[in-house]
């Protein structure tokens, strides 16, 4: 598993049938800190996107086997919540509207400036990190709507509301150390005993492994590796 730090790789899927363009973009996107997976047709893109949690998907509009918007529609129906940027030579206003209404988060016409593409990817990633529903956690993420954790292998671990809120509180500031008193006040305001924090830390470790919450002796707890 990958340590949930600022240096942890962020996953991005590039679905682009132009092999030369994909080969050009892959190292540029990787240099931004992403682990990049490539697909050159819609079916392969669908398979990859359903198999692991990506932060950002960059999808070409015209693809072999499956149109890019059809691919996007299938992913949204399967509750894939990654941010999506559509690349297309069809830059007319109705096409952009169709893409955005179909579930895309951004739209960029070809030909495009490489720096602009990278800036748009960074902006989408920030929106994911700042969003109310998803919080990156190692190679996966915390899903506030589903109250579960999506792991890097595509599996999901359900959490109780209190388990989730405790893990979310720790994960939203991965470098911070929280005392038991702080966590009790934030997550368990209706409970007087600070020992409730230790109990729920035990529950999280039982479900996600002992290292998911790290004990900082003499201080309290912080998020650990997932």
Higher-scoring residue by pLDDT: 9, 180: 180
Which residues face 221 on adjacent strands?
178, 215
pLDDT in tens, 106-134: 888 888 899 999 998 988 887 665 554 66
Among 91-95, 163-167, 176-180, which is the least confidently predicted range? Answer: 91-95
- Give the percent of the chain with pLDDT over 90: 39
pLDDT in tens, 2-23: 222 333 347 899 999 999 999 9
Q: Domains along the chain?
A: 10-132 (3.40.50.2300), 159-223 (1.10.10.10)
Q: What is the mean pLDDT of residues 41-61?
A: 90
Identify the CA nearest to 9 among candidates 32, 37, 36, 34: 34
pLDDT given for residue 107 in this prediction: 86
Cβ proximity of 86 and 68 under 8 Å: yes
pLDDT given for residue 7 in this prediction: 35
pLDDT given for residue 205 in this prediction: 94
Q: What is the mean pLDDT of residues 83-92?
A: 81
Cβ proximity of 69 and 94 under 8 Å: no
pLDDT given for residue 142 in this prediction: 83
């Amino acid at each position: 598993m990958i340590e949930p730090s600022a240096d942890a790789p962020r996953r991005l899927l590039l679905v682009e049938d132009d092999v030369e363009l994909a080969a050009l973009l892959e190292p540029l996107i990787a240099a931004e800190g992403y682990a990049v997976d490539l697909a050159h047709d819609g079916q392969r893109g669908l398979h990859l996107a359903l198999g692991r949690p990506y932060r950002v998907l960059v999808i070409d509009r015209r693809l072999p086997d499956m149109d890019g918007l059809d691919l996007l529609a299938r992913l949204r129906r399967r509750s894939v919540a990654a941010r999506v940027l559509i690349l297309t030579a069809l830059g007319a206003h109705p096409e952009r509207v169709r893409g955005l209404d179909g579930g895309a988060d951004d739209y960029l016409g070809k030909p495009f400036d490489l720096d602009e593409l990278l800036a748009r990817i960074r902006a989408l990633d920030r929106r994911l990190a700042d969003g109310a529903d998803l919080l990156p956690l190692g190679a996966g993420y915390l899903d506030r709507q589903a109250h579960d954790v999506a792991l890097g292998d595509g599996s999901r671990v359900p959490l109780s509301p209190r388990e989730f809120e405790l893990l979310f509180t720790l994960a939203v500031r991965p470098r911070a150390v929280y005392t038991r008193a702080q966590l009790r006040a934030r997550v368990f305001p209706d409970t007087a005993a600070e020992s409730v924090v230790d109990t729920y830390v035990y529950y999280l470790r039982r479900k996600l492994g002992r290292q998911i919450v790290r004990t900082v002796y003499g201080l309290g707890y912080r998020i650990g590796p997932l």
